[in-house]
Amino acid sequence: MASTKADEALREAEQLWIGGEYQRARESFRRARMLFRDDNDAAGQANALSAQGELEMRLGHYDAAREAFAEARSLLAPGGDQREQAAVLSRLGELAHRTGSLGEARTCYGAARELFHAAGDRSGEAHVLKRLGHIERDEGQQDVALDLYHQALGLYRHAGDGLGEAHALRALAALHDVLGQPDLAHADFDKALALFREAGDVLGEANALTGLGHLLRRTRRPSECIDHLEAAARLYGQAGHLRGEADILFELGRLETTRGEAQRGREHFLRSAELYGRSEATELKHKALKEAQALGQ
């Protein structure tokens, strides 16, 4: 059936995205959208467009992202599910935040929160509160951000959404780190890690391990920092997330070099260069190769 083929194309696109094959991911998202259209599935089309828009947003292609989100919203407008409409508005809010249009971001998030609330979707509402917290954090309003994160955490727990709770805890951990509260940050990272593992979210676990590794570096625990970053790199590799693995290996290359482990540092730089090349990050590939060459043969 067309819908089954569309779902397969959508899953393929997401895997290609994780693997850093962005052009092929775009093509699969477009194919999914066409298959959903052939099946007269407006919600499926909107879902494919939203996913493609998110890819473009992550890559910094903001005009392409805005176009995809706007088209997704128009498909849902005639009578789409409130949750789906709210999800698109939330993505538009994130896009506005990224482009510095904070008033627009708050407006989009406010509308999304109202729709999630009307639909009784506490997890969706919590997601919006967390995103609003990100805005306040970036604007230096740390106390406001802290309150919003705690509100989001409470809603996730009320909804029984362990994965959402993990993401909120990770945001709280990062904020406690910024506020110079390493013990609270460490505790939140540990709680987030346990929830990511319980949910089987490998990428979430890798991201939390990375954050904890950075915290350990700042608190002058270099060996533990490297252990956590190496674990994160393994998880990114396990998930096929080339860019995530490459970024961590590049960082490990610098850490090992600083510790006097030039050979290990060089190996990390060379491996990161290979992964950057496979994920179409040409400038970063050359940067990693330059670091490796500086360490000799």
pLDDT tens profile 157-209:
999 999 999 999 999 999 999 999 999 999 999 999 999 999 999 999 999 99
Q: 262 lies in a domain?
A: yes
Do residues 71 and 80 lie in contact, with contact meaning Cβ atoms separated by under 8 Å?
A: no
Tokens of 125: 């509402």
Q: 190 lies in a domain?
A: no
Q: 283 lies in a domain?
A: yes
Do residues 292 and 270 lie in contact, with contact meaning Cβ atoms separated by under 8 Å?
A: yes
Confidence of residue 280 (pLDDT cuts 50, 70, 90): confident
Do residues 275 and 245 lie in contact, with contact meaning Cβ atoms separated by under 8 Å?
A: yes
Q: 253 lies in a domain?
A: yes
Tokens of 271: 């491996």
Long-range contacts of 62-66 (CB under 8 A, 24+ apart): 62/95, 62/98, 62/99, 65/95, 66/92, 66/95
Q: 150 lies in a domain?
A: no
pLDDT of residue 2: 41
* pTM of the shown model: 0.90
Q: Pick from 283, 220, 219: which is nearest to 250 by CA?
A: 283
pLDDT of residue 296: 80
Domain hosting residue 268, numbered range: 233-297
Q: 269 lies in a domain?
A: yes
pLDDT of residue 80: 67
Q: 45 lies in a domain?
A: no
Looking from the CA of 179 toward its CB, the CA atoms found within 13 Å total: 19
Do residues 296 and 269 lie in contact, with contact meaning Cβ atoms separated by under 8 Å?
A: no
- Counted domains in the chain: 1
pLDDT of residue 4: 82
Q: 89 lies in a domain?
A: no
